[in-house]
Amino acid sequence: MARRYPIRKIKSHRAYTFEEVADELGCSIQTVRTWSKQGLSIIDDKKPYLALGGDLKNFHAERVAARKFSLGDTGFLCTSCKTVRQPLGAMADYIPLNDRRGYLEALCCACERRMCRFVQARDLNVFSAKLEIAVSAK
């Protein structure tokens, strides 16, 4: 998983040197240089190079948005494939944690490793419409 940075420490209307960005966010200067190569806009007509706080905030907001994904109705996050996968054979086991919550356990359709997804018990009928669900005892 990509690292999270305390981007709220950055002020929108301030210009930062790469060293100041690294200090504020707790990363290395090389990380800030890498961001500038990846699309962070910088003021580079003279040294020291500067990054505007607003640009930094936008750059990070786009990176966070790019990492978001939706599981959809019956998707599971496979931690081996690092993507959303459907359960093998459209089958899953429901393991209740209490009366209201539990988790679905299934095998990945691509790598056949175990995947889990937490669900509310009241939402089980949504899953059972599309998956064959075996309910385990508590």
Q: Which is nearer to Zn ion, 70 or 98 (CB)?
A: 70
Length of the chain: 138
Residue whose CB is less far from Zn ion, 42 or 115: 115
Nearer to Zn ion, 90 or 110 (CB): 110
Task: Give whichever of 81 and 95 is closer to Zn ion, judged by the CB atom.
Answer: 81
Distance CA 68, CA 121 (A): 25
User: How near is the Cβ of 82 to Zn ion at its closest, in Å?
Assistant: 8
In the complex, minimum distance from the CB of residue 106 to Zn ion, in angstroms, rounded to a whole number? 10
Integer Cα distance of 62 and 75 in angstroms: 24
Task: Write down the least CB distance from residue 80 to Zn ion, Å.
Answer: 4
Least distance in angstroms from the C-beta of 66 to Zn ion: 21
* Residue 16 contacts residue 24 (beta carbons within 8 Å): yes
Chain contacts with Zn ion (rule: CB under 5 A): 78, 80-81, 108, 110-111
Distance CA 50, CA 48 (A): 6
Say if strands 83-85 and 91-96 run parallel, antiparallel, or are unpaired.
Answer: unpaired
